[in-house]
Amino acid sequence: MSESVAKPLDEALLAKREKLLAMIGSYGRCAVAYSGGVDSAVVCQAAFLALGDEAVAVTANSESLASGELEAAQEVARRIGIRHVVLQTNELANPLYVRNAPDRCYHCKTVLYQELEAFVTDWPGAVMVNGANADDQGDYRPGMTAATERKVRSPLLESGITKQEVRQLAEAWNLSVWDKPASPCLSSRLAYGEEVTPERLRAIDLAEQKLRGLGLLQVRVRYHRGDLARIEVPAEAIARLADPSVRDSLVSELRSLGFKYVTLDLAGFASGSLNAMLPVESLSLYRA
């Protein structure tokens, strides 16, 4: 994340921004499912501008949240000025989540939105919203099904705002996360079919912390059967990790975390790469 001098927004995006603010303003009050990423941060900023104290950001904290993410989300919310509430969720109590089938995200979001529903029960008329954007349509998004079932609105998507435009708005609003890489939950690192356990989540989290300590921003440590770690980093960083002075230490540390095998993916970093393992019929079930 970095500071920047924002470029002026073009007329098309200015129009979308006004549509976004008017849409959220029409809710009267709203609760934003806020992960701390750029999408939900932009929704929080828009909600605060449109509704002020009638908007609240709600973050779910659980064992699947990577280290540092909650603190970073709290800081961004503080800078925006929006009220911020942290709810403890326990997805690991749900066997359907733990089994880690391709619909895992559906069960995760269902837990989140159930908690959000319970929260707004004491806040009559509040509309639940998330950070889905226009580029999330047509992708494999089980969580969007959960949002539809729970009547959660997606103001960015409904305003036609794309991921690139989300970042432009974030930069224009001087949000520090405007260039933050995507950071999905730790459970997304486990290959489908491998159970989600606290021990595996902790090992993944600590392994990724080690890699970030080397100055890498985009990293994934994918867990595969047999306690195998498949490391994904940008292609230009592969040679650095393969250097013996780095490789030997990295292998030693990941083995100490419980990984029996440590591999480096020569294809480089790819967001959502585990979805490539899914059969076509599974992908068709949860397209947004």
What is the pLDDT averaged over residues 151-173? 97
Q: In sequence order, what DSSP letters do the residues of 219-268 get, joined into one string?
A: -EEEEETTTEEEEE--GGGHHHHHSHHHHHHHHHHHHHTT-SEEEE-TT-
d(CA 3, CA 122) in angstroms, rounded, equals 38
What is the pLDDT averaged over residues 165-170? 98
Percent of the chain topping pLDDT 90: 86
What is the pLDDT averaged over residues 84-96? 96
What is the pLDDT averaged over residues 192-206? 98
Predicted pLDDT of residue 193: 96
Q: Do domains 11-172 and 186-270 have the same CATH topology?
A: no
**Does 288 score more than 50 pLDDT?**
no
> Across all residues in the chain, what is the average pLDDT?
92
- At 5, the pLDDT band (50, 70, 90 cuts) reads low
Handedness of CA 288, 181, 37, 112 (dihedral sign): positive
d(CA 192, CA 142) in angstroms, rounded, equals 14
Q: Where are the domains of the chain?
A: 11-172, 186-270
Q: What is the pTM of this model?
A: 0.90
What tens digit of pLDDT does each residue of 116-126 get? 999 999 899 99
* Residue whose structure tokens are 């921003």: 217
- At 94, the pLDDT band (50, 70, 90 cuts) reads very high
- At 276, the pLDDT band (50, 70, 90 cuts) reads low
**Does 268 score more than 80 pLDDT?**
yes
What is the pLDDT averaged over residues 12-19? 97
Predicted pLDDT of residue 273: 60
For residues 234 and 6, the model is more confident at: 234
Predicted pLDDT of residue 11: 95
Q: In sequence order, what DSSP letters do the residues of 209-222 get, joined into one string?
A: HHHHTTT-SS-EEE
Residue 71 Ramachandran class (φ > 0 left, ψ -120 to 50 alpha, else beta): alpha
For the domain bounded by 186-270, which CATH number is listed?
Answer: 3.30.300
**At the topology level of CATH, where does 11-172 sit?**
Rossmann fold (3.40.50)
- At 271, the pLDDT band (50, 70, 90 cuts) reads confident
Predicted pLDDT of residue 253: 97
> Is 65 strand, coil or helix?
coil
Which segment of 73-77, 212-216, 267-271 scores lowest on mean pLDDT? 267-271
d(CA 83, CA 287) in angstroms, rounded, equals 32
